[in-house]
Amino acid sequence: MSGLSNQISLIVGLGNPGLEYEKTRHNVGFDATSAFMTSLGVNFSKQDKYNSVYWEGRFKGRNLLVQHPHTFMNLSGKAVAALARNKEILPAEIIVVYDDMDLPLGKIRIRKSGSSAGHRGVESLIEHLGTAKFSRLRIGIGRAQAETVDYVLAKFETDEQVVLDEVLKASINALTLSLTRGVGYAMNNFNSINHEQEKTNKAD
């Protein structure tokens, strides 16, 4: 599966396992990748292996994997590196989807590489993959008004959920473009859009 180094073969959603963490801000990476899987409308085989759940199938005539590490956020890299090694996937063929407090709710940001910016899950990936050269789709959740841990582990408010629905749709489209046209093309099409404003404009 390690063909072209700019061809995405593995999509990783970051989050924490367990019912108590479902639909929390820190688990938006799980939510976005699950929404993407649903949008495909095809059956992927599900495996529970490498401290994770992952799905494997065909997309546009090639193999594609989607992974949810179940190691908890700060050890995510262990699960991703194990799957990537087994499937012979290069770091440059991975795109990681996760929450970002430095972006407001309504914004997504796609990058081909970069630092962790303090995100524990991304720090773990850099450590275990041995490089920061993997793509990311960062989903804004806004800055905490209370304690950071309480904020990221809380569920979205009702008014936030309306914006999040638009963001998840955009994330599906951004991932699809990253796979079909390349990460750079997706960056140019999505990094400048504020989906909270888009939702407001539609309401007007």
- Domain annotation for the chain: domains and CATH numbers: 10-203 (3.40.50.1470)
Q: What is the mean pLDDT of residues 189-203?
A: 71
| Paired strand residues for 98 | 138
The Cα–Cα gap between 194 and 155 comes to 21
Whole-number average pLDDT of the chain: 91
Express each pLDDT in 103-122 by its tens digit.
999 999 999 999 999 999 99
The Cα–Cα gap between 101 and 114 comes to 16
Question: Annotated active-site positions, please?
Answer: 26
The Cα–Cα gap between 45 and 65 comes to 10
Indicate the pLDDT class of residue 194, thresholds 50, 70 and 90. confident
CA dihedral 112, 66, 43, 162 (to 10 degrees): -70
Q: What is the mean pLDDT of residues 118-132?
A: 97
Closest CA to 107 of 143, 69, 67, 147: 143
Indicate the pLDDT class of residue 193, thresholds 50, 70 and 90. confident
> What angle, rounded to 10 degrees, do the helices at 158-180 and 28-40 form?
60
The Cα–Cα gap between 41 and 62 comes to 16
> What angle, rounded to 10 degrees, do the helices at 158-180 and 195-203 form?
120
Q: What is the mean pLDDT of residues 117-145?
A: 94
The Cα–Cα gap between 132 and 134 comes to 6
**Which residue is listed with tokens 């949008």?**
39
Residue 4 has pLDDT above 60, yes or no: no
Express each pLDDT in 40-67 by its tens digit.
988 899 999 999 999 999 998 899 999 9
The Cα–Cα gap between 2 and 106 comes to 34
